[in-house]
Structure 1
Amino acid sequence: MSTGQAGSGSAVTLEYTPGERRRILGAACLGWGMEYFDFMLPSLLAGPIMAEYGITPATFSLAIVVQLIGSAVGGVLFGWLGDRFGRRRTLIWSILIYSIATGLVFFAPNFTVFVVLRFLTGVGTGGEWAVGFAWLNEAWSPKRRGLGGGLVQSSLWPAYALAILAAQLVPDWRTAFLLGVLPALACVWVRIATPESKQWTELQRRKAAGELTPEVAAQVRRSGWAQLLSRDSLPIVAVGVVAAFGAQWVPYTATTWMPSLLREDLGYESGSASLVLYLASAVSFVAFILAGYLSDRLGRRSVFLTFSGLQAVTFAVMLGIAVTGSGMGNLAWLYLVSSFFLGYFGIFGVWFGELFPTRLRSLGSAAAYNIGRGLSGLGTLIGGIIATTEGYGIAVGIAVFGAVLVFGAAYFLRDRAGRVITAED
């Protein structure tokens, strides 16, 4: 393990080899991508699931809401575990929980059991996001950290494409969920091939040796929860929750109900609808990487505000079309445009991670992102009610509310792009 001085005293930068960075990036991509595969399956298979259980879209949306609540619980829980027991070990635990819970859906005899299993899935996926991005923040080059975050977020594209393919090719919806157990196999590779965060490991060494600075030592003696609620951290968490709530409202309304809009309201055949969804996913893939890359050069906040602001305009137009019923055919290509402006999700993980010190990075970013994510389930629930009474077009269009909210909240988050992350900072 090599070190390089970034000042004096405790300001030691712990370097990673290119191979170690690639493997940590791969672990984060694998965990996050397969989480999205799991999340999108219910939306893609909503029709046959609702038919088998005899439920309405509004009732079906409860499963998604409960999963998001689970992600809030799991995010905070695993975020705390990640700061206490390390990034690698905690990531393995979270992947095991969500992959096994997904596979068990194959046996769900009724909708109640289905909902319980989706809650457990949410617990696992909530932890995966927080720990994976904390790990990436610490391992990746400070000058290219945004690009690394964009690459992790872009893993959603192949995962979404795989989910669409599974929904089309498997003989029944239960078999598609059974495929969700496969990420558990990745835990073996993560355990063997990837190194623990060197900043976290060094923090533990200094703590045990009594080598922490007095200020940091005083903080470490407090519980993670007390640090989270301190006057230094709580305002960041509060604004982050609002930003994450708005951002997650967008896909949990638009992405959840767009497949049904294409097939039911716009009359797309299955193949044509899948093509639109494939293209939207591919557009987002490019946008995640581009936004992350640009944020390294232009700053996190400016790029984030540009993408989210343009997305708000796009969804405002879509909502207007859905309300008036005029030009409904334009909703498909406008959805592709809105998918490009989802690029700001490529910035979220690294931006939140840069706002917290190593001792609180996993829990702090987890609390901000996943509490907001859990609350955003209201969008899915409201969208389900609207889809039942007013049609899928308006259910998709109300994504504008989230886009406006995330734009406003992001303005108040500090931009620390390119900061050097040490064991104590």
Structure 2
Amino acid sequence: MQITAVVSPKTTFSRQIVFAVCLICYIGGGLVSTLMSVYLPVVVRDLMGGVSEAELGRVGAYIGSVYLFGWMLGGIGFGFAGDSIGRVKAFTTAVLLYSVFTILTGFSTSWAMVIVCRFITGIGVGAVLVLATILVSETWPAKTKNIALGILAIAFPIGIISAGAINNLVSNWREAFFVGWIPFGMAIIASLVLKESAQWTNMRSQARLQTKPSSFSLLLEPAHRKNVWIGSLIFGAMLVGLWAIFSWMPTWIQSLFPSQTSGQQERGITMMLLGSGGIIGGAISGFLSNTIGYRKTLLITFAGSFVMCLILFTTNTVFSTIIYLETALLALFFGISQGTLSAYLPQLFPTFIRATATGFCFNLGRLATATVVFFVGTLVAVLGGYGNAVLAFSVTFVIGFIVTWVAKDVKISASEGNG
């Protein structure tokens, strides 16, 4: 089936423009998502003075949880907006939102102000990750769509690497958050060069001729309900463990050093390795899922993630370079999972509910994640350290493995998504 491009129909260049804009904004999402993690010990102590490990864990949990709640609301709310007012309008607004409030984070004078800024930043990032996936999914040919979405998925870990690099280069955390000016510029560019996809335009034209229930109510219809819950459970199971690790890895690394050691370089390198492994995993995810299928690929990633968490967090009580290798291998499985899920979830649903359904699947898991991550500070005290607390969250990988095991491998027709 002929693919109609988003910017200028029937041109490969048009698809490349869409992909490039989505890729850069996706990178920005990964960057601003993890920037707080790498600077968290510095930010909290700068705003609150000397704090105990338990207090740092408590405040860090608040900051991380509200960010994820915002991410969830943005993904679901802007997914609905993308179906209603258009992918491009919603996408541009979301990029503008997360860029502005990333900049404002750098001007925060209290940790409460940081929480507000991070909440709104999360709304924007959650929306961008859903809408960028939809834009590329509706633009790319079916034959190579999985590969394109796998490459898009590596944008987030590129952002993670960028956050680690900024941590190594910029010691002042306030200056680091001024990186938000980059996605701000991209929001302006996106508003000028992107046009709505042919699929969305055609869907809106047909909708004017007939009355349909809202896309939210359609999610609960028998034809879509099963895929909604399968997608939500699988994505949520991976996200809970992934986010706990990405959020608390730098703080765990810091806890492996004597109190007088900064650990700044090691924190930065670890985050860069998390990103690098994610890039490689995302890059190969499309080829892997095309070869062995979504289900087998996801089973491998859940099993691999759980095993690597056991090794990483149970065998290291002081910092050593072996942590770098173990972190990179763990990130490889994360990257494969994110690339596979980015290709898998949008194709489960028809055009008229795709953004809403994908946003729902992506972000129902984030609701669970935000809720459980909120208790990391308590788990640190109860379980005796950040490593044990983070390891507790890896149980979700076992849950994800079980759900994937009982789920059927969904077969997608060659024409799906090309309309």
- Using structure 2 for the length normalisation, give the TM-score: 0.88
Q: In the superposition, relative to structure 1, how do residues 319 and 48 fare at CA in structure 2: closer, same or farther (>3 Å)?
A: closer
Counterpart of 1:107 in 2: which secondary structure?
Answer: coil
What's 1:235 paired with?
Answer: 226
Deviations 1:191-233 (A, max 9, x none): 222332111112222334x4xxxxxx5xx61111211222222
1:305–1:410 contact (8 Å) kept in structure 2: yes
1:356 corresponds to: 349
**Which residue of the partner structure matches residue 123 of structure 2?**
123
Between the aligned partners of 2:100 and 2:318, the Cα distance in structure 1 is 45
Q: Please give the secondary structure, in 2, of the residue aligned with 1:182.
A: helix
Distance 1:176 1:225 in 2: 39
Shift of 1:152: 0.7
Aligned to 2:333: 341
Matched residue type, 1:421: E
The question of 1:398 aligning with 2:404 is answered: no
| Pair 201,137 (structure 1): closer, same or farther in 2 beyond 3 Å | same
Go from structure 1 to structure 2 and tell me whether the alpha carbon gap of 1:373 and 1:419 turns closer, same or farther (over 3 Å shift). farther
Out of 24, 33, 36, the position equivalent to 2:30 is 36
Query: Over residues 362-395 of structure 1, what are the superposed CA-to-partner deviations in whole Å (9 max), with x where a residue is unaligned?
Result: 0001011112123212343333333355122223
Displacement of 1:286 = 0.8
Q: Distance in 2 between matches of 1:330 and 1:388?
A: 26
Select the residue among 275, 279, 286 that pairs with 2:280.
Answer: 286
Equivalent-residue separation in structure 2 for 1:80 and 1:163 (angstroms): 30
Provide the C-alpha distance between the structure 2 equivalents of 1:15 and 1:300, rounded to a whole number of angstroms.
30
Relative to 1, partners in 2 of residues 1:25 and 1:95: Cα closer, same or farther, differing over 3 Å? same
- 1:103-142 paired onto structure 2 within 5 Å: 103-142=103-142
Counterpart residue number, 1:65: 65
Residue 305 of structure 2 contacts residue 397 of structure 2 at CA under 8 Å; is this kept in 1?
A: yes
What amino acid does structure 2 have at the position aligned with 1:234?
A: R
SS at match of 2:358: helix
Which residue number in structure 2 is paired with residue 8 of structure 1?
Answer: none
What pairs up with 1:191-270 in 2 under 5 angstroms? 191-208=191-208, 210=209, 217=210, 221-266=212-257, 269-270=263-264
Between the aligned partners of 1:173 and 1:228, the Cα distance in structure 2 is 42
Aligned to 2:156: 156
RMSD: 2.6
Q: Name the CA distance, whole Å, in 1 between partners of 2:14 and 2:3.
A: 17
Q: Using a 3 Å threshold, how does the CA distance of structure 1 residues 188 and 329 change in structure 2: closer, same or farther? A: closer
Deviation, structure 1 residue 279? 2.7
Q: What per-residue deviation string (whole Å, max 9, x for no partner) do you get for residues 243-298 of structure 1?
A: 22211112221121211222321568432442333233212211111012221232
Question: 53-62 vs 264-273, which deviates more?
Answer: 264-273
Q: Is the counterpart of residue 380 in structure 1 residue 373 in structure 2? A: yes
In structure 1, stretches of 5+ residues that fail to align are 6-13, 211-216
Q: Find the aligned partners of 2:414 and 2:64 in 1 and give their Cα distance.
A: 36
Distance of 1:4 and 1:225 partners within structure 2: 27
Q: Distance in 2 between matches of 1:422 and 1:154?
A: 21
Alpha carbons of 1:28 and 1:327: their partners in 2 closer, same or farther (altered >3 Å)? closer
Residue 47 of structure 2 is matched in structure 1 by 53
Asked if the contact 1:96/1:187 (under 8 Å) is kept, the reply is yes
Query: What is the CA deviation profile of residues 159-181 of structure 1, one whole-angstrom value per residue up to 9, with x for unaligned ones?
Result: 22221222233352122122223
More displaced, 175-184 or 111-120? 175-184
- CA pair 174-73 structure 1, distance change in 2 beyond 3 A: same
Aligned counterpart, 1:182 = 182
CA 275–112 in structure 1, closer or farther in 2 if over 3 Å, else same: closer
Q: Would you say the 8 A contact 1:321–1:327 is kept in 2?
A: no
- Report SS of the residue matched to 1:114: helix
CA distance in 2, matches of 1:316, 1:171: 32
Return the TM-score normalized by structure 1.
0.87
Deviation at 1:422, TM superposition (A): 5.3
Q: Which amino acid aligns with 2:369?
A: S
Uncovered stretches (5+) of structure 2, i.e. residues with no partner: 49-54
Give the equivalent residue in structure 2 for 1:93: 93
* Equivalent position SS for 1:276: helix
2:163 touches 2:271 (CA, 8 Å); kept in 1? no
Q: Would the aligned equivalents of 1:319 and 1:397 in 2 still touch at CA under 8 Å?
A: yes
Is the 2:71–2:123 contact (alpha carbons within 8 Å) kept by the matching residues of 1?
Answer: yes
Distance 1:385 1:332 in 2: 27
Offset of 1:332 from its aligned partner?
4.0
Q: What is the percent sequence identity of the aligned residues? A: 20
Cα pair 2:277 2:330 within 8 Å, conserved: no
Match of 1:421 in 2: 416
